[in-house]
Amino acid sequence: MKNADQWSGLVLLIISGLIGWGALLLPYGNIHNPGPGFYPLWLGILLAVMSIALILKSMRHRGRQRNLRGSLAEKVRWDKVLFVLIALALYGYFMNILGFLMVTILLMVFLLRFIEPQPWRSVIAWTLIGSFGSYLIFEIWMKLRLPKGFWGI
């Protein structure tokens, strides 16, 4: 395996197996009353499917493969990696203080405007779609209680 995408797919497939194994140790519940193992199991399955698709795609496109050594030698923008990690840590910290909706809006604006700069029109559109879409799915449709923050939203 000399292809970087094949290695990435293999590592992600192993991680998905560990996620699935850990999820099976938790109560599953059912679709109407999911237990703590429900979402991790399905996320692990989804990650496994995408990992296998990545491996198969990289095997199909042999002529355009990226070499693992070349991929590792590429310039990594460590400053952006650090900013994203800090932003995710702050996202988790402020979740109960500001609430899911507000902190998700702030995170998405930060990622879309400052990490990989996009036009403001795209930032606003994708932030509203992502934030309110996830709120509607989890809070309204699935009836999960998301953190409201001190504003109650």
Q: What pLDDT does 60 receive?
A: 82
* Residue range 55-88, pLDDT digits in tens: 998 888 766 655 656 656 666 777 888 999 999 9
Dist. CA 86–CA 151, nearest whole Å = 24
pLDDT-derived band at 1 (thresholds 50, 70, 90) equals: low
Q: Nearest-CA neighbor of 80 among 117, 118, 124?
A: 117
Q: What is the CA radius of gyration of the chain?
A: 19
Distance of CA 109 to the CA centre of its chain: 16
Q: What pLDDT does 74 receive?
A: 64
75: left (phi over 0), alpha (psi -120 to 50) or beta: beta
Q: What pLDDT does 72 receive?
A: 60
Dist. CA 10–CA 14, nearest whole Å = 6
The enclosing H or E element of 27 equals none
Dist. CA 62–CA 71, nearest whole Å = 15
Confirm if 115 and 64 have CB atoms less than 8 A apart: no
Position with higher pLDDT, 74 vs 10 = 10
- pLDDT mean across residues, the chain: 88
Q: What pLDDT does 123 receive?
A: 94
Distance linking the first and last C-alpha atoms of the chain: 49
- Give whole-number Cα distances, 33 to 30, 113, 135, 140, in Å: 5, 38, 19, 15
* Residue range 111-145, pLDDT digits in tens: 999 988 999 999 999 999 999 999 999 888 888 88
